[in-house]
Structure formats: C-alpha cells, structure tokens
Amino acid sequence: MTEDRSGLTHIGVSGEAHMVDVGDKIDTVRIALAEGHVRMAMETLETIREGNAKKGDVIGTARLSGIMAAKQTANLIPLCHPLMLSKVSVDITEDETLPGLRVEATVKLTGKTGVEMEALTAVSVACLTIYDMAKAVDKTMEIGGIRVLEKTGGKSGPFRHPEAG
C-alpha cells in the first residue's frame, strides 16, 4: 500500500482503508494518558459520592468498564491492532467546579504501535458507564473533554497537549 498524499497512514492512494503494517517497527515502551469528564447536577454528584445510586458503585464500576474497554479497542475501532497491554489504569475524581467527575486513563505496553486509542476508549467507556449508572437521577448529564493529554514512545516521539496540567 502506498500512503496517501494527505499523510493519513490508514488510507491508500485510491481512498481505501488499510491496517498499517507495523511489523518492521522496533518495540519501544509506549504510554498514553487521556482524559474526559461527565458534568452533572451537584445533587447527582452527591448521590454518587454517598453511594446511593440505584445501580450501585458508580465510580468502581466505571473504573472497571474503562479497563475492560481498553483491552477491547481493536474489536471496536476497525483499523486498530490487537495489543498486549501491560498496564491500564483508570482514575475517577470528583470535581465540584464542573460539577461532576473527571476520568483519566493511562495505558502502557512495550510494542510496535501506540496506545492512544486504548486510552481514549477507556475514558470514553468509563464516562458512558457513569452516565448509564446515574441517568435515573440526572438525564441532563454531559460527557465532554475527551482528549489525549500525552504520549511517549515510538518514532514520532513524545507529545504533550498544550493545555495539559
């Protein structure tokens, strides 16, 4: 496959989609950090904090769903490579300034391709789980701010989002 002139590695010169061949790349340690949030009414945040959501432990369940989602990324995103992840962590913290919950995911492996999509998938599914578990209390919740904050490893080198804290 010849790379399209647009620089998109998954698109051929005729516009057809292809999985990138990473076989000749060298293994490097690759880490990605992504974030997102769920904005909600203060009463909803208090319900979650007090453990009174009807479906159970919102934060614990969302953390687990994010970890599971990172491991399933290749099944969800068509051109992603299946990866042997060595670490997935999902941290969920209260933020009364939203108000709501902030979600961060860190994904790591030693391999031939990056883990940004796995980190983004972990954050996205954790946020969706928070919504699902608390929607009976607050249907107006808003999911947003999903982005890669930083990544290391690979030929392109490190990246840090200009707005990362």
Q: What is the CATH number of the domain that holds 103?
A: 3.30.70.640
Residue 99 maps to a domain: yes
Among 3-7, 102-106, 122-126, the least confident range:
3-7
For 113, the domain range is 37-160
Let me know if residue 18 belongs to a domain. no
Tell how strand 28-39 and strand 87-95 pair up: unpaired
- 111: number of CA atoms within 13 Å, CB side? 17
Q: Is 8 a residue whose pLDDT tops 80? A: no
Report if residue 2 sits inside a domain.
no
Q: Is residue 14 part of a domain?
A: no
pTM confidence score: 0.90
Residues in the chain: 165
Is there a catalytic annotation at residue 132? yes
119, pLDDT greater than 60: yes
Q: How many domains does the chain have?
A: 1
User: In this structure, are strands 28-39 and 100-111 parallel, antiparallel, or unpaired?
Assistant: antiparallel
Whether 15 is in a domain gets the answer no
Strands 159-160 and 142-152: antiparallel
In a domain, 13, yes or no: no
Domain contains 66: yes
The catalytic position among 21, 27, 132, 138 is 132
> Does residue 3 register a pLDDT over 50?
no
Is the residue at 55 inside a domain? yes
